[in-house]
């Protein structure tokens, strides 16, 4: 059973009066057997296999608990499945919820157990300060407490085709958007078919949300929603309009590649077409496997002349939520498993196998001490962005209710900009109005 994303906030809101405290106890297979912990995952392919590997390591490390990892589809599918399961009084013990679903979960009081409370109850050391900058901040409350455990975390970086740059006489990748703009004509003149592309499904993440963070611009009022359930989007700010005006100019010249949120853009870089590519750091292994040319990885460009930039990026990906209604012995197992996933050994395995960043300071420090980043310098770029500066109140993350639907409206605006149907100013104004309406509807459902 699935739900449209627009209805996700309403579905969870309806739960509050009917399910809080009424969910059935999770069952063990037998009185003498291990307590089963059901973990719903959005990880497939090799990443899914790596997650199962970690669960097996935990299972073999002790005899009290058995973690069963169940793949539930895409991030959106897993969120919808979790909502449906809670409504049916059959929730998993732990669910992987993507970054855009954070506010929807946080406002669903009674549906989940805050992880900071869970870890404190079972005497595990747990604080936002244990996580690298840009990771813990995304999932913390306004009071600096983590309701969920940061886990599969990445951030956008700039990949660049060294061969295309050399052919155009460009000696180094751009540090600013002005420098990238200056690279356009040399690249086009030297035969580059595409100057720039960005993540297909999450171009809103790279060039709206993260663009705002990296350049120290608020994405929305109320510190991006951290201090207000009903913030207003700031998509029509001068920096945002100028940025999308430039990207729109590339689109008009057929120098920007993007075909909507359902079409992957990875091949537009790995086939050698695009000189620059904004994409998740977690795609590094895929790009390494597909690119038959020398490429580099560097930080995202920032707006030239901005004294606050570069600031910090934040994570995308997902965090782990503990659902309500289980018996004490299950919660104790949840805490033990989450503590295991935080360990340097588990985090370092996850980071080196998948391309996601190690989210704890201890895990990063161990990898760094062992020399991993000397042999894998490209993996360090994402860490540098996430930790470039301590997050400001409005660069901790995005806390917007029903953010998945807001992103849908933004994607429609992006399509109009890149196709030349509308100016950046007009398209962004429409997306802002539509997004504010979505946020207001969410706030009304939650009493805001």
Closest by alpha carbon to 159, among 201, 194, 123, 121?
A: 194
pLDDT band at 434 (very low <50, low <70, confident <90, very high): very high
Query: Which residues have C-beta within 8 Å of that of residue 31, sequence separation ≥ 6?
Result: none
pLDDT of residue 156 exceeding 90: yes
The yes-or-no verdict on residue 385 having pLDDT over 60 is yes
CA distances from 224 to 181, 208, 351, 361 (A): 29, 12, 29, 25
Average pLDDT on 409-432 reads 98
Instruction: Quickly state the pLDDT bin for 405 (edges 50, 70, 90).
Output: very high
Average pLDDT, the chain: 91
H-helix segments, 62-149: 75-87, 102-106, 115-121, 136-139
Percent above pLDDT 70 for the chain: 93
Q: Which domains does the chain have, with CATH numbers?
A: 5-154+316-386 (3.40.190.10), 156-312+401-445 (3.40.190.10)
CB distance 438 to 110 below 8 Å? no
- Give the Cα separation of 445 and 448 in Å (integer): 7
Beta-bridge partner residues of 297: 159
Could you give the CA distance from residue 138 to residue 98 in angstroms, rounded to a whole number?
A: 11
In this prediction, residues 271-288 reach a mean pLDDT of: 96
Average pLDDT over residues 82-104: 92
DSSP secondary structure code for residue 100 in this structure: G
pLDDT for 448: 62
State the Cα–Cα distance between residues 435 and 330, nearest whole angstrom.
39
For position 88, what pLDDT does the model report? 87
The whole-number average pLDDT for the span 332-351 is 97
pLDDT at 256: 98
For residue 418, how many other CB atoms are within 10 A of its CB? 23
Q: How far is CA 306 from CA 148, 271, 310, 311, in A?
A: 34, 34, 8, 10
Neighbours of 172 (CB within 10 A): 10
Whether the pLDDT of residue 6 is over 60: the answer is: no
Residue 12 has pLDDT above 80, yes or no: no
pTM above 0.75, yes or no: yes
pLDDT 10s digits, 27-60: 444 435 899 999 999 999 999 999 999 999 999 9
Sheet holding 156-161, edge to edge: 256-257, 194-198, 274-280, 156-161, 295-298
């Amino acid at each position: 059973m699935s739900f449209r994303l627009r209805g996700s906030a309403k579905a969870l809101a309806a739960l509050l009066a009917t399910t809080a405290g009424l969910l059935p106890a999770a069952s063990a297979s037998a009185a003498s057997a291990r307590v089963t912990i059901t973990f719903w995952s959005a990880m497939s392919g090799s990443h899914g296999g790596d997650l199962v590997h970690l669960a097996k390591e935990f299972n073999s490390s002790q005899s009290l608990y058995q973690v069963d990892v169940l793949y539930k589809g895409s991030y959106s599918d897993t969120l919808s499945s979790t909502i449906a399961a809670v409504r049916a009084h059959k929730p998993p013990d732990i669910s992987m919820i993507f970054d855009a679903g954070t506010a929807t979960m946080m406002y669903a009081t009674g549906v989940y157990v805050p992880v900071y409370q869970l870890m404190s109850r079972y005497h595990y050391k747990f604080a936002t300060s244990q996580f690298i900058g840009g990771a813990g901040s995304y999932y913390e409350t306004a009071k600096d407490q983590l309701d969920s455990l940061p886990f599969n975390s990445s951030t956008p970086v700039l990949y660049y085709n060294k061969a295309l740059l050399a052919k155009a006489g460009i000696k180094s990748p751009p540090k600013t958007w002005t420098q990238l703009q200056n690279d356009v004509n040399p690249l086009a003149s030297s035969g580059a078919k595409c100057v720039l592309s960005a993540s297909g499904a999450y171009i809103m993440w790279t060039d709206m949300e993260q663009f705002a963070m990296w350049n120290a611009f608020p994405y929305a009022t109320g510190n991006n929603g951290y201090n207000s359930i009903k913030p207003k989007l700031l998509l029509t700010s001068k920096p945002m309009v100028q940025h999308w005006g430039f990207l729109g100019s590339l689109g008009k010249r057929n120098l920007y590649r993007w075909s909507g949120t359902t079409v992957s853009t990875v091949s537009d870089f790995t086939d050698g077409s695009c000189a620059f590519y904004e994409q998740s750091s977690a795609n590094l292994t895929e790009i390494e496997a597909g690119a038959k040319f020398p490429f580099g990885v560097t930080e995202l460009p920032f707006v030239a002349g901005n004294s606050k930039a570069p600031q910090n990026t934040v994570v995308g990906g997902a965090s782990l939520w503990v659902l309500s209604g289980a018996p004490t012995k299950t919660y104790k197992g949840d805490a033990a498993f989450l503590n295991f996933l935080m360990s340097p050994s588990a985090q370092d395995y996850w980071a080196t196998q998948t391309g996601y960043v190690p989210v704890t300071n201890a895990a990063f420090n161990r990898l760094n001490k062992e020399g991993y980043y000397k042999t894998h310098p490209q993996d360090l770029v994402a860490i540098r962005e996430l930790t470039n500066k301590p997050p400001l109140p409005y660069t901790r993350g995005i806390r917007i209710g029903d953010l998945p639907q807001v992103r849908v409206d933004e994607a429609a605006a992006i399509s109009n900009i890149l196709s030349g149907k509308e100016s950046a100013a007009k398209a962004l104004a429409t997306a802002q109005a539509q997004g504010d309406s979505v946020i207001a509807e969410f706030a009304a459902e939650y009493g805001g």
